[in-house]
Amino acid sequence: MLPPFQTALPVIQTLEDAGYEAFFVGGSIRDSLLGRPVHDVDIATSAKPEEVKALFKQTVDVGIEHGTVLVLYGRRQYEVTTFRTESEYKDYRRPESVEYVDSLLLDLKRRDFTMNAIAMDKTGKLIDPFSGKEAIRDKRIETVGSPEERFREDALRMMRAVRFMSQLGFEIENGTKRAIRVYAHLLKYIAVERITQEFIKLLEGVRPYEALAFLCETRLLSYLPGLEKMEMRLMPALNPALNELTESQLWVYLIKAVEPDDENAFLRKWKLPNLKRKAILRTLGFVRKRTARPWDTVMLYDAGKKTAVDAETVFCALRREDWREHTPAIEKVFREMPITDRSQLAVDGKMLMDFFSKKGGPWLKEMLREIETAVLTGKVDNQWDAIRGWLACKHPQEKKF
């Protein structure tokens, strides 16, 4: 048994000593079988929420209306959820009500995919009524029971399936795939924030290329923010090189591929944080500059190393070229730059005002930029004496001697 489960054993034991059943459940079991890092360990129990709270000194009601209590134990926290079944779902996203049950089997039966419907007892024995271990072995994503029912219950499960496809490198089995094609339109009932969360995980996965192609093939793409009827734009732009791009680079690639009328408005539809949105748009701007002309020292300096590498990577991916053949040259330029930031310039605004005997104004920003460019292009050394001499020759009419 892996250390994260061993650490949580006292929680299981406390519940069992009080006469309740308790098992490890969920993604932690799946990840342990895949040899992936196990992070959050979740527990399912026959104890009701109030009974769980009575057994532990420190608890938090994180989702008590759904039967979940957060137990704080030994510097760690565990979500402990009562065995439950769910009633009819409303709006294809949440159940009308939750009913507590005494059966682990009924609890596992309500879960989304067979690979997530495996439990483990305190001895490490697996309880796998829906052959989830077999699905994991075969790298197969399939729903527990009818995919039509699972997707009508919660339409976000379709996005979760595609996210797992990218994260785990699994294939979605044919029955589940057919149901996604039929019920793709139900995604419009899901909150944008939930869709964005799944889409970001998809982009962070090991196979975003295959996952994005699947979104196009099943028409799920049309129900994502700003991507209605964009399949014909995105599909031709997809290529396996996308599997080597980072999440932020993939956002830039996506925008370049579909060319929305307003890139900023497109990103706002996803409700991304402002800083992230601005960083994506900044990189996009340099991809466009790179498309217009090759890099030079000043353009690289203006971009900054990370943005320049990101922009070159996206530029190469769009052209189906190997970015690894290009980015070392960019990194070499940065290593050889006399300055990589204006703060490293051997002159500041006050020095220039004193030198020219002038008050501040728009001219100051322009002059600093001129000096910056001269230093970067090797026209003058980054030393105040050299810069003063260069300025005296360059702007003799402005210097008061």
**Are β-strands 76-82 and 68-73 bridged in parallel, bridged antiparallel, or unpaired?**
antiparallel
Phi then psi for 89, rounded to 5 degrees? -90, 150
Q: Where are the alpha helices (DSSP H) in 235-340?
A: 247-258, 263-269, 274-292, 297-303, 305-318, 327-336
Q: Is 112 annotated as a binding residue?
A: no
Rounded Cα distance between 129 and 145, Å, is 11
Q: Is 157 annotated as a binding residue?
A: yes
Q: Is 107 annotated as a binding residue?
A: no
Residue indicated by tokens 């959820």? 81
Q: Is 163 annotated as a binding residue?
A: yes
Q: Is 160 annotated as a binding residue?
A: yes
Cα 221 off chain centre by: 17
Q: Is 193 exposed, middle or buried (0-12, 13-18, 19+ CB in 10 A)?
A: exposed
Rounded Cα distance between 158 and 221, Å, is 11
Which pairs count as long-range contacts for 270-276, CB under 8 Å and 24+ apart, including other chains?
A: 270/192, 270/196, 270/199, 270/225, 270/226, 271/192, 271/193, 271/196, 272/196, 276/248
Residues in the chain: 401
CB 140 within 8 A of CB 43: no
Rounded Cα distance between 302 and 310, Å, is 14
User: What six digits make up the tokens of 291?
Assistant: 């498309």
Q: Is 40 annotated as a binding residue?
A: yes
Q: Is 249 exposed, middle or buried (0-12, 13-18, 19+ CB in 10 A)?
A: buried
Q: Is 102 annotated as a binding residue?
A: no
User: What six digits make up the tokens of 104?
Assistant: 């682990």
Query: Which residues are known binding-site members for CTP?
Result: 27, 30, 111, 154, 157, 160, 163
Query: Which residues are known binding-site members?
Result: 27, 30, 40, 42, 111, 154, 157, 160, 163
Query: Which residues are known binding-site members for Mg(2+)?
Result: 40, 42
Query: Which residues are known binding-site members for ATP?
Result: 27, 30, 111, 154, 157, 160, 163
